[in-house]
Chain A
Amino acid sequence: MTSRRTTDIERLKREYRALRAPEHLADRIRVRVRAGAGRDTRRSAAGPAVAALAAAAAALLVALPWQGQGAGEADIRPTSLTVLSLAAQSRAGGSVPGLSAIRGMTLPSAPARPANDTGPAAPPPADDGLEDLRNHSRNDEEKDHANS
């Protein structure tokens, strides 16, 4: 026959509820939270990761209007390169440029076009040639009328 060990829950509960946190714990917590609060403030003020993220976000904001340009895809490239170079600078641990510095940056201009390059083909005007034809016809009519 096996003897089963019994546990008086009510008695155990009384013993358990007699457990109290040490007297000094509240004071210790008070000291720690106040010290911790100061440390948190300093940490967040000097957070380099936050600064790097802010710089990358600002660079993206600067780049976005350029990506909206429809004509001349090549014009986007310098802007994208600028963002990449900023990201590389942040990773290398170098000084992160401030927002005002990023806004003040001038983007490299696109390469100069050859003199005979007329650029992207412009859409033909709606009355291409018709006006000349009309003028020509009008002049011929005037001449015929004068000769008659």
Chain B
Amino acid sequence: MTEPSDVELVQRFRSGDPEAFETLVRRHQHRLYRLASVWLRDPRQAEDAVQEIFLRAWRGLAGFRFRAAPFTWLYRTARHVCGEYNRGRRAESLEAEPADPADGPERRADDDEAARRVRQLVAVLAPRQREVVMLRIFEELTVAETARAMGCRQGTVKALLHKAIARLRSEGAEGLE
């Protein structure tokens, strides 16, 4: 049996099926968490940010008009929420909850280190180039998906990526196609 598409899940959620929303959460939480870990100056806030993104989705998807893909909507919300965090509007944790024992300090340290290195790598790029690199290279989205998420043409994505790769190579990055 094939997995329901994001659009089908949103339609089911709008028809009153909360399970559909939970499927959306499970499907996209890791990608949004990774992106938030890189975008936020304090990567420990990534968890709170992802929670906030889905809270807004719960409220906002009721009026979703399918002009964009659901992930595009989630991605733009993620960018907005992380921007708010970085401007200090959400400095405090949304909710103090006991951490899962499986998410011990060692795991957190590894996560922080990977996110920190990616953040350091893309820091030399302009903001739009950074987005392209994150979506196209690290999240392995297609050019079309990246263009939709960023709200630009596919040609713009290719041009931004070309410049970004050239810059990263000049900074010592290897293994870029």
Once the chains bind, are B173 and A29 in contact (CB under 8 Å)?
A: no
Q: Collect the chain A residues with CB atoms within 8 Å of residue B29's CB.
A: 21, 25-26, 29
The residues of A that contact B88 with a CB separation of less than 8 Å are none
Flag if A33 contacts B58 (CB, 8 Å): yes
User: How far is it, in angstroms, between the C-alpha of A26 and the C-alpha of B102 when the chains are bound?
Assistant: 14
Q: In the complex, which residues of chain A have a beta carbon less than 8 angstroms from the beta carbon of B54? A: 29, 32-33
**A20-B30, A28-B97 known; A7 vs B102 contact (CB < 8 Å):** no
Interface status of B92 (Cβ within 8 A of chain A): no
The majority secondary structure among interface residues of chain B is helix
Complex interface residues of chain B between 67 and 111 (CB less than 8 A to chain A): 94-95, 97, 99-100, 102-103, 111
Q: How far is the CB of A100 from chain B (nearest CB, A)?
A: 30
Interface hits, A12-62 → B, CB 8 Å: 12-13, 15-26, 28-30, 32-34, 36-37, 40
Asked if B172 contacts A26 (CB within 8 A), the reply is no
Q: How far is the CA of A19 from the CA of B40 in the complex (A)?
A: 15
Chain A residues, Cβ within 8 Å of B173: 6-7, 9
Is B55 engaged at the interface, CB distance under 8 Å to the other chain? yes
Expressed in whole angstroms, the minimum distance between the Cβ of A6 and any Cβ of chain B is: 5
Question: Is A10 part of the binding interface, using a Cβ–Cβ cutoff of 8 Å?
Answer: yes
Q: Are the C-beta atoms of A37 and B58 separated by less than 8 Å?
A: yes
Take A22-B47, A26-B26 as given contacts and tell me if A15 and B117 are in contact as well, using a CB distance cutoff of 8 Å: yes
Q: How far is B172's CA from A108's CA once the two chains are assembled, in angstroms?
A: 82
CB closest chain-A residue, reference B26: A26
Contacts of A16 in B (CB 8 A): 34, 38, 114-115, 118, 138
Q: CA–CA, A36 to B57, complex, Å?
A: 12
CB neighbours (8 Å) of A128 from chain B are none
Closest to B57 in A: A33
The distance in angstroms between the C-alpha atoms of A32 and B94, with both chains bound, is 10
* Candidates A19, A23, A25; contact of B114 at CB < 8 Å: A19
Whether the pair B121, A12 counts as a contact (CB closer than 8 A) is yes
Q: Does A5 lie at the interface of the complex (its beta carbon under 8 Å from any beta carbon of B)?
A: yes
Is there contact, CB below 8 Å, between A32 and B95? yes
User: How far is A25 from B143 in the complex, measured between Cα atoms in Å?
Assistant: 30
A144 sits at the interface (CB 8 A): no
Check B123 for interface membership: any CB of A closer than 8 A. Answer: no
With A and B bound together, what is the CA distance between A6 and B58 in angstroms?
A: 43
Q: What 7 A-B pairs have minimum CB-CB distances, sorted nearest first?
A: A21-B33, A33-B58, A24-B100, A9-B175, A15-B114, A10-B175, A22-B103
Beyond contacts A25-B33, A26-B25, A32-B54: 17 other A-B pairs, Cβ-Cβ < 8 A, are A5-B172, A7-B121, A7-B172, A13-B138, A19-B37, A21-B30, A21-B47, A22-B47, A23-B100, A24-B100, A25-B51, A28-B51, A29-B29, A29-B54, A29-B55, A33-B55, A37-B59
What are 17 A-B contacts with C-beta separation under 8 Å? A7-B168, A7-B171, A10-B175, A12-B117, A12-B121, A13-B138, A16-B118, A19-B33, A20-B33, A21-B30, A21-B50, A23-B103, A25-B47, A26-B26, A29-B54, A30-B22, A32-B94
